[in-house]
Amino acid sequence: MKLIDFYNQAVSFGRAADPRKNKRGIVSFPDSAILFGKPNTEVRKIMVGIDIEVAELLLADRIREKEGLDLVVAHHPEGKAYAGLHEVMSLQVDLLRQAGLAYKTAVSLLEKRISEVERRVLPQNHTRPVDAARLLNMPFINMHTPADNHVYRFLDNLFKQKSTAPCLVGDVVKILKTIPEYQIADKFNTGPRIILGNSRRPVGKILLEMTGGTEGSKDVFGRLYKAGIRTLVSMHLSEEHLKKVKDANLNVVIAGHISSDTLGLNLLLDNIEKSVKQQFQVVSCSGFTRIRRG
């Protein structure tokens, strides 16, 4: 499979899993990119990690020297994809509307937060790993929102099925712990847990915070409560956001950051492999574990 086809498949499946109701106009994802490499590079063996930086690229070069390697795949964005992280956050407007917020309210809250993220990212040294990949002549891509969309879709379907829908907050944790990626995290003491509320509280209406670039507005939680949301299921939550959630009296279950990212990458890779009827040789690193389904 050629590199350009691998990347285009990731975008295509990311679009199919996107939680937005209206998917017209979703051509690509600004936080995902071919960061370095020739589009016609043949891809058979890949190294996949959640964070790929200079150290991982040097490791990849050593693996290539010893046993061959065609492509390095990161989850978190680097280079131009990192600089474009804030652009994908508009996805969250649709999620807030689906949760019951008015369109104007959702846009107003997100605009401020998007500007904050843009200003935070702007001065960073975006190209360090990309420069390393170029110097090593190592093909390098990242897949961020396409993978995160898969996590959202997978968990949303799971929580909405009658046979697996949670009733209590504790049920959310029990359900998450049936998933291999979260079971692995649990062994490293980073598994799913309740950080606000308790296991016996009714779960009520759930809002999944699994995609949309990064955390949204910290001022949205009171409005979510008024819209009927009672429980957040998130990859992670900053201390600043946590204080606002506590004031809104919402339950919060942290599924886990790296484990959720791993789940999304696995689901996305499964779809790519099935579409081309080819299993890639995968070297797992940087928090990622390859788990195939079906």
The pTM of this model reads 0.96
DSSP annotation of 92 reads H
How many domains does the structure of the chain reveal? 2
Question: Quick check: is 232 in a domain?
Answer: yes
Does 73 lie in the same domain as 16?
Answer: yes
- Mean pLDDT, residues 40-50 taken together: 98
**Can you give the residue range of the structural domain that contains 177?**
151-257
Question: Quick check: is 292 in a domain?
Answer: no
Does 273 lie in the same domain as 251?
Answer: no
Give the lowest-confidence range in 133-137, 153-157, 236-240: 236-240
Q: Which domain CATH number covers 233?
A: 3.40.1390
Does 108 lie in the same domain as 16?
Answer: yes
pLDDT score recorded for residue 25? 74
- pLDDT-derived band at 56 (thresholds 50, 70, 90) equals very high
Does the structure show a pLDDT above 80 at 23? no
Does the structure show a pLDDT above 80 at 294? no
Question: Quick check: is 112 in a domain?
Answer: yes
- pLDDT-derived band at 21 (thresholds 50, 70, 90) equals confident
- Mean pLDDT, residues 24-43 taken together: 93
Q: Higher confidence at residue 270 or residue 164?
A: 270
Pick left, alpha or beta for residue 25 (phi over 0 → left; psi -120 to 50 → alpha; otherwise beta): left
Does the structure show a pLDDT above 90 at 174? yes
Question: Quick check: is 294 in a domain?
Answer: no
Task: Kindly report, residue by residue over 203-233, the tens digit of the pLDDT.
Answer: 999 999 999 999 999 999 999 999 999 999 9
Does the structure show a pLDDT above 80 at 148? yes
Question: Quick check: is 38 in a domain?
Answer: yes
Does 122 lie in the same domain as 21?
Answer: yes
Give ∠ CA 137-141-143 in degrees, rounded to 5.
Answer: 170
Question: Quick check: is 290 in a domain?
Answer: no
Does 264 lie in the same domain as 252?
Answer: no
pLDDT mean across residues, the chain? 95
Question: Quick check: is 193 in a domain?
Answer: yes
The percentage of the chain sitting over the pLDDT mark of 90, rounded to a whole number, equals: 95
Task: Kindly report, residue by residue over 69-100, the tens digit of the pLDDT.
Answer: 999 999 999 999 999 999 999 999 999 999 99
Does 177 lie in the same domain as 265?
Answer: no
Tell me the residue type at 88. V
pLDDT score recorded for residue 24? 76
Does 264 lie in the same domain as 217?
Answer: no
Q: In what order do the strands lie in the sheet with 33-36?
A: 33-36, 140-142, 71-74, 45-49, 281-285
Does 138 lie in the same domain as 217?
Answer: no
- Mean pLDDT, residues 103-115 taken together: 94
Does 138 lie in the same domain as 270?
Answer: yes
Question: Quick check: is 172 in a domain?
Answer: yes
Q: Name the β-bridge partners of 194.
A: 253
Does the structure show a pLDDT above 90 at 27? no
pLDDT score recorded for residue 271? 98
Does 176 lie in the same domain as 125?
Answer: no
Does 18 lie in the same domain as 91?
Answer: yes
Q: Give the CA dihedral 267, 167, 100, 153, nearest 10 degrees.
A: 10
Does 234 lie in the same domain as 157?
Answer: yes
pLDDT score recorded for residue 80? 97
Tell me the residue type at 125. N
